[in-house]
Amino acid sequence: MTPTTETTVGIGGAAESTDMVLNIGPQHPSTHGVLRLRLLLDGERITRAEPVIGYMHRGAEKLFEARDYRQIIMLANRHDWLSAFSNELGVVLAVERMLGMEVPERAVWTRTLLAELNRVLNHLMFLGSYPLELGGITPMFHAFREREVLQNVMEEVSGGRIHYMFNRVGGLKEDLPAGWTTRARAAVAAVRSRMDVYDDLVLGNEIFRGRTRGVGALAPEAVHAYGVSGPIARASGVDFDLRRDEPYLAYGELQDTLRVVTRSEGDCLARFEVLLAQTHNALDLADACLDRLAQLPPGPINQRLPKVLKAPEGHTYAWTENPLGINGYYLVSKGDKTPYRLKLRSASYNNIQVLTELLPGTLVADMVAILGSMFFVVGDIDK
């Protein structure tokens, strides 16, 4: 047998893996807060993505166990700082369900009105910031102008601009100021009259459409697997909205006004379109609530509570359709004045985990477009 000789020819760096690990964050201007993304790249293409969370963890769920039922409203108010009123709402609904408490009708309709105004405030921030992340600065100025109009009426009624602290177990802190409904109606009309900025200036922009159409398509199967909810889920064709499917507050009487918007594409453009359509509908719902409040006779806005409020022993689950998706509150009581356990299911936590499915296979250049279209708040993840 003739002996053979093997010769190894040097081929430089090509003999090694070309994969590169890229850290986005934990402090990066495109991430709405302190989030870190660990990306594995093959050239310009993402092959693996891992959201790394916990950089601003507040430990609110553990603190719930050391606060009474009045104090926990403050803790739950802050995780999604763009949806503070809705955050309060879920907590008080859970406690009221444990107590078997009926809330005055005036409080029910006022809560519904303020929840929809808070929804518009939340959505306006993303309607302005998302084009900004893609290079368009103008919509952000419009968004802040419209937010200021609504913030003024929210501040007048509650005393707070971001963290309203207006919900109470049994109703609301106090009745509406004299003439407030007229000013609120004018604010809603003013914002609605200028919404064409987003319909025309943003959606009509060919650069914006080119950066978002067909980019970051999320399949309905991934929506179900990861528990994605809210506008992101509906943009992928998942037709589910608690306000329609399991009505709470006054939504059962607003079915003629409530419109659940869906898209089938599931891409960045579809997510923006759903958010925009939902903003239009929230303004319509606010008007409907104002109409109903004008018809209600004068009455109480809350229930009188004992000095020490204790929930009976047991457990319950309340969930709400928050601006960013479904928030859930699992409350366990041992009959004390503090919860034994209050587990918070926040929308952004589930919505951001689906990035592990969504980002692989996409280009690095599209990463910011996809990330911005997930419409999350980092405090809502690190609760």
Domain spans of the chain? Answer: 19-52, 60-381
pLDDT beyond 50 at 79:
yes
Please state, in angstroms and rounded to a whole number, the distance separating the CA atoms of residues 149 and 349. 30
pLDDT at residue 174, rounded to an integer: 93
Report the distance separating Cα 313 and Cα 331, nearest Å.
10
Structure tokens at 290: 């104002």
What confidence score (pLDDT) does residue 347 get?
A: 94
Asked if residue 54 lies in contact with residue 34, where contact means CB atoms within 8 angstroms, the answer is no
Q: Which residue has the tokens 């918070």?
A: 344
Structural tokens at position 133: 């992340």
In the chain, count H helices and then E strands.
Answer: 16, 8
**Confidence at 5, pLDDT banded by 50, 70, 90:** low
Contact 106, 293 (CB under 8 A): yes
Which contiguous run of DSSP H or E holds residue 168? strand 167-168
Beta-bridge partner residues of 229: none
Running DSSP on this structure, what letter comes out for residue 216?
A: S
Helix (H, G, I), strand (E, B) or coil at 223: helix
Question: How far, in Å, CA of 204 to CA of 201, rounded?
Answer: 6
pLDDT band, very low/low/confident/very high, at 59 (cuts 50, 70, 90): confident
Range 193-220 average pLDDT: 93
Q: At what angle do helices 138-158 and 105-133 cross, to 10 degrees?
A: 160
Nearest to 339 by CA among 363, 367, 310, 319: 310
Among the ranges given (115-119, 194-198, 246-250, 315-319), the one the predictor scored with the smallest mean pLDDT: 194-198
Assess whether pLDDT exceeds 70 at residue 17: no
Q: Which fold has domain 60-381?
A: Cytochrome-c3 Hydrogenase; chain B (1.10.645)
Phi first, then psi, for residue 176 (nearest 5°) are -70, 145
What confidence category does residue 10 fall into, taking pLDDT thresholds of 50, 70 and 90?
very low
- 167 backbone dihedrals φ, ψ, rounded to 5°: -75, 145
pLDDT value at residue 35:
84
Smallest CA-to-CA distance from 54 within 36, 30, 66 is with 36
Q: What is the pLDDT of residues 290-315, one digit of tens each?
A: 999 999 999 999 999 999 999 999 99
* Cis-peptide, bond into residue 26, ω within 30° of zero: yes
User: Token pair of 48, please?
Assistant: 């693996």
Q: What is the DSSP string of 246-300?
A: S--TTGGG-TTT------SS-SHHHHHHHHHHHHHHHHHHHHHHHHHHHHSPS--
Residue 22: predicted pLDDT: 86
User: Do strands 341-345 and 167-168 pair parallel, antiparallel, or not at all (unpaired)?
Assistant: unpaired
